[in-house]
Amino acid sequence: MGKVTGFMEYSRELPPDRSPLVRIKDWREFHEHFDEARLRQQGARCMDCGIPFCHSGELISGMAAGCPINNLIPEWNDLVYRGLWREALERLHKTNNFPEFTGRVCPAPCEGSCVLGINELPVTIKNIESSIIDRGFAEGWVTPELPASRTGKKVAVVGSGPAGLACAAQLNRAGHSVTVYERADRVGGLLMYGIPNMKLDKSDVQRRIDIMAAEGVEFVTSTAIGSDIPGEKLKEDFDAVVLCAGATQPRDLPIPGRDLKGIHFAVEFLHANTKSFLDSKHADGNYISAKDKDVIVVGGGDTGTDCVGTAMRHGCRTLTQVEILPRPADARPSDNPWPEWPRVYKLDYGQEEAKERFGADPRVYLTTGERFVGDDRGNVKELLAYEVEWARNEQGAFVPKRMLGSDRVLKADLVLLAMGFLGPEDTVLNQLGVERDPRSNARAEYGRFATNVTGVYAAGDCRRGQSLVVWAINEGRGAARECDRFLMGSTNLP
């Protein structure tokens, strides 16, 4: 695939991002773009590697290795190298309904499993993917595709995040009449309100939603299933129901002082910020501002990074990101071999911006909070924290232990809790009588996606727990396939 000797002739290159101190002044996407010649050169680096682990889609040591939706990566790398962009787009759409999303927000486990990455820098798979779909839209190649006929079957999809959208797109392609319910005022779930605009421009999300609507998918917003419409009513009105409601219960930090003003869940902070930006470019003031505040973000991961990047654009005074885990190594440790996801240190966009603005990576590792301290008006002003070391307990599990003499005081006018999510909310699952697994997620076997309730399926984070956008798309497509099989007796969906 690609040029036979390309991986020896060309080095990995990515287009430069906009300068951190420039991009924090606006909410535009911060990635720049390569011209076609340089993209074709990067596609040429794709090796004829025999076994392309990049699209294997396996879980190794609990982490994604390769592409969970089995993108035909070597094929479209080769087509880009040869200048066959429309054919590359066709290959990309065979496995991925929304490459404009994954090409921007996916952490690229495909690159972590690239065979070239064993002893060189991997192929720039993610950048090539986003370039293919961007070219497709620019050339007018991405247009609504209506199903040839309708089956007469009706399906309700609860939730319009990546799992719900992928499920709806596939079911509509099979000819079913699909209605997607979203409790927010805009469609897109975490794609719309969980990921800030500079990382995923909302016009890109809306563009795909408009295409799906033109293809026949019906979207109903500002409607919460379980309260506005009882779950049982969906069972009465539709031939099947697919639950794609996400894992929206945030993990809390129940330490003394948690009830002080100025402490918020990350999702609350991010949702309000994007909604205010879309509604009024922040003129309405209906968001939690970090301007001129000492900000603490508790937790790492993508959500923590997005909180950092958002606070930087508000104009925070200082920023500290508290992580209880140790700092990753600079290179793969011996217990993290290829093709596992590489657990290595990196500066993501938010931390890069904070470092440029304040002079250092904002993250403090092996640290956790003991209690919040407030002022005489009930506002948070400090987090009392301490350092930990990880050691095995009597059961052999690693647990954090307090290091004596490591206490520290962190100034805080605004605290954002970005420690992940515990599972789906109860209302809809309880109303429909859906059984839970030990982690409180909807119990539905992967590959079948059927719950214990006939005609009710579950996919995405509400089934597997908090995960990647690309896994949500995988599950949405899988649930659509099995739902179609239930409705028709057989299925042609992949």
Q: Has residue 146 been placed in a domain? A: no
Q: Has residue 148 been placed in a domain? A: no
Q: Has residue 364 been placed in a domain? A: yes
From 379, 404, 419, the end of a domain falls on: 419
Residues 366 and 426 in one domain: no
Q: Has residue 479 been placed in a domain? A: yes
Residues 258 and 401 in one domain: yes
pLDDT of residue 222: 98
Residues 401 and 367 in one domain: yes
pLDDT digits (tens, 9 = 90+) for 356-373: 999 999 999 999 999 999
Residues 412 and 428 in one domain: no
Among the listed residues 301, 276, 298, 305, the one whose alpha carbon sits nearest the alpha carbon of residue 289: 276
Q: What percent of the chain shows pLDDT beyond 70? A: 100
pLDDT of 1 strictly over 70: no
* Segment holding 267, helix H or strand E: helix 266-280
From the number of C-beta atoms within 10 Å of its C-beta (0-12, 13-18, 19+), residue 119 rates as exposed
Residues 477 and 334 in one domain: no
Strands 263-265 and 414-417: parallel
Residues 63 and 123 in one domain: yes
Q: Has residue 111 been placed in a domain? A: yes
From 364, 391, 419, the end of a domain falls on: 419
Range in 115-119, 187-191, 255-259, 482-486 with the lowest mean pLDDT: 115-119
Residues 223 and 324 in one domain: no
Number of structural domains the chain divides into: 3
Q: Has residue 390 been placed in a domain? A: yes
Residues 397 and 467 in one domain: no
Check if the beta carbon of residue 349 is closer than 8 Å to that of residue 305: yes
pLDDT digits (tens, 9 = 90+) for 290-349: 999 999 999 989 999 999 999 999 999 999 999 999 999 999 999 999 999 999 999 999
Interatomic CA distance for residues 272 and 171, integer angstroms: 32
Q: Which domain CATH number covers 80?
A: 1.10.1060.10
pLDDT of residue 62: 82
Check if the beta carbon of residue 80 is closer than 8 Å to that of residue 40: yes
Residues 163 and 279 in one domain: no
Chain-centroid distance, C-alpha 464: 14
Q: Has residue 147 been placed in a domain? A: no
Residues 411 and 264 in one domain: yes
Q: Which domain holds residue 12?
A: 6-138
Q: Has residue 333 been placed in a domain? A: yes
Among the listed residues 228, 242, 317, the one whose alpha carbon sits nearest the alpha carbon of residue 483: 242
Q: Which domain CATH number covers 291?
A: 3.50.50.60
Residues 375 and 458 in one domain: no
Residues 58 and 134 in one domain: yes
From 379, 394, 419, the end of a domain falls on: 419
- pLDDT band for 60, please (50, 70, 90 cuts): confident
pLDDT digits (tens, 9 = 90+) for 446-474: 999 999 999 999 999 999 999 999 999 99
For the stretch 382-404, what's the b/e string if a residue is b when 16 or more beta carbons lie within 10 angstroms of its beta carbon?
bbbbbbbeeeeeeeeeeebeeee
